[in-house]
Structure formats: C-alpha cells, structure tokens
Amino acid sequence: MLNVAVVGATGYVGAELLRLLFVHPSVKVACVTSERFAGEPLCNKLPFLHKRYNLTLETYGADKIASIADIVFVALAHGKAMAPVHQLVQLGRRVIDLSADYRLPSAGLYQKWYRTRHLHPKLLRKAVYGLTEVHRADIANGGLIANPGCYPTGALLAIYPFVKEGLLDGNREIIIDAKSGISGAGSVATARTHFPDTHENVTAYDVGVHRHIPEIERGMMRMGIKVKTVFTPYLTPINRGILTTVYLPLVKSISRATVASLLKVYKNEPFIRERVEAPSLSAVRGSNFCDIFAFLAASGKTAVVMSAIDNLGKGAAGQAIQNMNVMMGWEETLGLAAPGFYP
C-alpha cells in the first residue's frame, strides 16, 4: 500500500484528490495539510467525506510528510507551492505539483507571467510536464511532475494529433476559445466569481494575457513545433468543466477522412474518447475523461477540434492520479475507472 500526502487538502483540487484517492485500491492517504484549518478534523471542512476519512488537518511540515508519505500531491496556489515542492524533492520524495510553479522551463518566463521571482530555477529544469498521453515515458521516471493546467490540458490534447502528423502550420496563429466552470477560479471567492456576477452571465477575462498562454505554447514546443496562440477564456455559470474549441491552420488541404484518422492516435488511450458530434460537459463531469471531436472547414486548410474535460478531473486531480499510476507502473485507470456524474 502506497502512502500519500495531500498538501493543501481543503481547496477544490485537494478535495477532488481526496474523493478519488479514497477509492484507489493501492493507496492510503497518510497526511492532509491546511494552514488555515490546521487542528480541525478534515471532515468538518469537507463534510462530503464524512465516514470516509478519519484524519486531522495539519500544518505543513516537510520532514514529517517525507517520513510518512512516498508520493506527495501539492495542491497549493501558484507561488505557494514553490518552496514546499523543493523541500520535499530535496528530502527524496516524489512530488506531483498541481500549481503552475514548475510548469514553465525558465525562471524568467515564470516571473514574466506570474509576477513572482522563482526561487528554485534549477529544479524547473528537472520537472517533467505531466500531460500523460504525450509524455508518459518521462513521467514514469520522473521525480517531480508538473501537472498541467486545466486550460492547457483541454487545448493540448486537441492539438497533439495534428502536431504529431506534421500538419500544423507554425507560421500562423492558433485560435483557442475555452469556456470554464467557476471552480477553475479556486475556492476563495473574488468579485469576478461572486454569485450575482456569474449567475446567468458569461464573461471573457484575461483576454490575450492569460497565464496559461505560455504553458500552451511551451506544451506545443515539447511536441516539436513553435506556434503562437490567440487564447480567449470565458467564465460560465456552471461548477465544473471546460469546453475548448481550437482552430488549427494546416500546412496543406486535407480530407475529412484524414481528420478522422488523426484522432486514432488516441484509440488505445483509456481516458480519451473520440466523439462523432460536439462533446458535452455533462458527459465528462466528475470523471477523468477527455472527449474530443474534430471537423474540417470548407477550405480543407483549417481543422476545428473541440474537447471537453472536467477541470477538476482530467484538468487537475484526475490527471495527477493518472500520473501517479504511471510513476508506480500500475494500470492507469486505477482509482479512475468510474464514469462521470449523471445527470
């Protein structure tokens, strides 16, 4: 039985990790931390876990966590995860970081987009980007996994088949339109996520300057192509899910049959499902699935790919557990095989 710890257990991502880890047959959650609620029973703060866990929230302590956990999930906000991740790696623990603190390859790029100086630039170079279906071999041998962001996961999984076949035109910008549920903004309320402002409303935000832009572009560079993006995220009045539409400029005209064949790269992937019509968030909510649909513009030189994921599932906690399974050499579906919520 593998002992794991969840650092930052009471946020939306930490809570989702605990929900999924409870049904994992080879894992025991040995420690949960929260700086705000240390000393309180976990289930007082997350009552949906009542009679499932008998743990008390603790303050973060690297030495203690390293002494009882084999793998640590760090579910802290950006900037807050930097030091704990470094400490735990130094103590020999394998770490899956769900913040953005180790997703970018350089301290300069991190500071530009997150307005914070990176304290451990050498560790940045050792982090493995945890987009499971693309970087599985590196993840298996990784000591620090930088779990992808939710928007980049939905976008990059849509883009990958076209990059793999060399069909993407790197001289033209990719247009990405993504609509997210409110949980993607985190559990701390802000003016933008306040109920009266989000109910019956759809708003674009951080247009052209969203922090996931460099992560998406670097994700494509890891696939082997340098492309700029035009990324517009929208906040929608739902709890969970991201529906992404990507407009891909192609180097040559292709047929509809070719588009369909490209998605077969995922035919043996347990969590990627090709759809014959536009995907729905209701089909992936609460799951680790990514549903993908593609079609071709009339010119034959622009492909339109749509993906649907649960931002807390495949976009965060689900993918993190999938990566843990890969690191341990286990079946990837362990703890993740259940379908999503319905209705």
List active site positions.
150
3-state secondary structure 240-291: CCEEEEEEEEECCCCCHHHHHHHHHHHCCCCCEEECCCCCCHHHCCCCCCEE
Whether 96 contacts 58, CB under 8 Å: no
| Tokens found for residue 49 | 């876990």
Spatial distance between the Cα atoms of 162 and 170, rounded to a whole number of angstroms:
11
The answer for residues whose C-beta is within 8 angstroms of residue 223's C-beta and 6 or more apart is 134, 156, 159, 160, 163, 164
Spatial distance between the Cα atoms of 3 and 61, rounded to a whole number of angstroms:
16
To the nearest 10°, the Cα dihedral for 136, 228, 266, 321? 40
Spatial distance between the Cα atoms of 281 and 181, rounded to a whole number of angstroms:
10
